[in-house]
A and B are shown apart, each in its own frame.
Chain A
Amino acid sequence: MPVMNRITLIQRLRRQGRPLFDSLAFLAVLAGLGWLIMAGAGELHYNWQWYRVPQYLYRFEDGVFYPGPLLRGLGVTLELTGWSLMLTVFFGLTAALLQRSTSWAGHAVARVYVEIVRNTPMLVQIYLVYFILAPILDLDRFVAAVLALALFEGAFAAEIFRAGIEAIPRGQWEAGRSLGLSPYAVHRCIILPQAIRLVLPPLTGLAVSLIKHSALVSVIAVADLTTEGRNLIADTFMTFELWFTVAALYLALTTSLSLLVDWLERRLPVRSAGHD
């Protein structure tokens, strides 16, 4: 016993290292990187104009708040993410249920969908939707963007839903069936309500990746945050200031959602649904 205690104590000391010194060294490295960027910019005779950035975020006129292009872009990004997330859940759940069904064709269709989406780059998928599907079906570019994003994330959501459904113990199924419920009723009343709890945290993680991937639709000129940033850079040549601002906005959005995921995972403890 004392030996074990000593080992854990040594381990703990080893783990901690020298916190103060290490933190300072870390800050020094950050400062060094910052200096490197500044020095590089200085060499290019880069003219930092941070004071011009806030007007692109928001304006106050007569005490009334007007969002600037960047905040409007952020709004479009959120709108895009919201619509796509709804469609993603639809595509994902459909694909997951079809993959589980006894239907031969349903399984094949879901499988083909998932394999195609997983094995091609998202950028190429956006081009396929925008250059081929959109002109054929007369789709607006925003709709094309939502469709492309949802088709992409749907294939990953399918895996999340499948895992969530399969995590429900078999006994729940058997109990439902032996009570005389139809397979549809078992899914709707017993399996899915329990699976939701399991699926919610990874689904929020999916929303985070949806926000990140939504930046890609700037290639088809949907007026999202990245597009607004690119347009402003073309107008003002404030390359670094604007890209750093755009990155910071995305970072704020994704990290706050990631924190929400952590909170959800701690908040919704998975109640084991019986003895498997």
Chain B
Amino acid sequence: MPSRPRRFGGLDAVILVIAFGLLGYVLHRANSHFHYLWDWRLIPGYFVRYDAGLGGWTLNLLGQGLVATVRLAVWGSVLAALIGGAMGMCRVARSLFLRLLSRTYVELIRNIPPLVFIFIFYFFISGQLMPVLDVENRMAHAGPTTLQILTFLFGPPELLPNFLSGLICLALFEGAYVTEIVRAGIQAIPKGQWEAGWALGLRSDQVMGEVVLPQAVGKMLPALAGQFISLIKDSSLISLISIQELTFTGTELAVSSGRVFEVWLTVAALYFLLCFGLARLFRRLEQRLNRNRHPF
């Protein structure tokens, strides 16, 4: 039973022997059978490098990839929250039309593999939407200050159309999950709250805006935080349509440098630090929020 204190026993010895045995066996095979020569010294140089031409330090591939992933995560979640919020309201709307529309969106995205969705949608976005937005032309006419701001927010201007396509794909995909979180949050509010609001003479939109939503948002927050972490992980899929984020730069680097093992282990470690750190942070925030709630 879990209530008993954990202590070191015979089972621990067996498990440790098995775990370290497996690890040791893999490492031994890597060195003796596969003859892999580990060399970790090159890895730090892939984050930042000294550029003699500029006379300063600049981000190298892995650094650029990490920054691009963070940008994708931030903008992707903003966009996904907008889509999910709107669609979530549609899911609980009175109008059958809105409910059908949002239900179709959610079911379609949740039942198709993300990869297939991204491939289909990428052809559509890059072929149709990008010419309509005409980003490249607009960028050419932008002033230097605007360009600097855009570069800070979205990355190198020459990659902006590419970045936007990936961003829209990701946001549409994650939006479906946010939709369901929003719907569940609103539906978790007891019916009595609605009836009380109506009985006080509020219109339905007033009840929604002033009674139900403020309570629902509190219920949604933990799930939304989890979805934010999922979004970071799912952003790696975007590498398959050549959006230059961490997984993409990792692939490039593994091929060009030949340090396959070190590069992939580093990429995995970076994702882990990012996601695990955020998960811990969110958990702490949630505990603090709960502590400050009125103790009923």
Contacts and interface: CB of A to CB of B under 8 A. Distances in A.
Contacts of A132: 260-261, 264-265
A144 to B, nearest CB: 13
A121 interface: yes
A56 B214 CA distance: 53
Interface residues of B, number: 69
Nearest to A46: B127
Interface string A228-248: 010000000001100110110
A30 B108 CA distance: 13
Interface string A92-129: 00000010111111110100000110111111110110
A104 B7 contact: yes
Nearest to B263: A131
A66 interface: no
Interface stretch (A12-20, A67-75, A192-200, A261-269): A12-20
Contact of A14 (B33, B195, B204): B204
Given A17-B96, A119-B276, A103 B26 contact: no
B120 interface: yes
- The prevalent SS among residues of B at the interface is helix
Interface string A149-188: 0000000000000000000000001000000000100000
Contacts of B235: 121
Contact of A212 (B11, B34, B100, B113): B113
Interface residues of A, number: 70
A135 interface: yes
A258 interface: yes
A31 interface: no
B252 interface: no
A247 B116 contact: yes
A270 interface: no
Given A102-B4, A123-B239, A136-B33, A255 B111 contact: yes
A87 to B, nearest CB: 16
Contacts of B50: none
Nearest to A212: B113
Given A216-B113, A226-B115, A243-B116, A106 B236 contact: no
A106 B15 contact: yes
B268 A125 contact: yes
Contact of B19 (A17, A30, A109, A218): A109
A100 B97 CA distance: 48
B128 to A, nearest CB: 5
Interface in B85-100: 94-97, 100
Given A102-B6, A246-B116, A250-B116, A26 B271 contact: no
Nearest to B131: A43
B97 A243 contact: no
Contacts of B234: 121
B7 A216 contact: no
Contacts of B16: 105
- The prevalent SS among residues of A at the interface is helix
A173 B236 CA distance: 44
Contacts of B11: 101, 103, 105-106
A43 B129 CA distance: 13
Contact of B268 (A19, A37, A128, A183): A128
Interface in B176-235: 195, 198, 204, 229, 232-235
A7 interface: yes
B114 A212 contact: yes
A119 B26 contact: no
Given A124-B236, A173-B1, A247-B116, A240 B123 contact: yes
B12 A106 contact: yes
Interface of B: 1-2, 4-9, 11-13, 15-16, 19, 26, 29-30, 33-34, 36, 94-97, 100-101, 104, 107-108, 111-117, 119-120, 123-124, 127-128, 195, 198, 204, 229, 232-237, 239-240, 247, 250-251, 254, 260-261, 264-265, 267-268, 271-272, 275-276, 279
Interface of A: 7, 14-19, 21-23, 25-26, 29-30, 37, 40, 43-44, 98, 100-107, 109, 115-116, 118-125, 127-128, 131-133, 135-137, 173, 183, 208, 211-216, 218-219, 226, 229, 239-240, 243-244, 246-247, 250-251, 254-255, 258
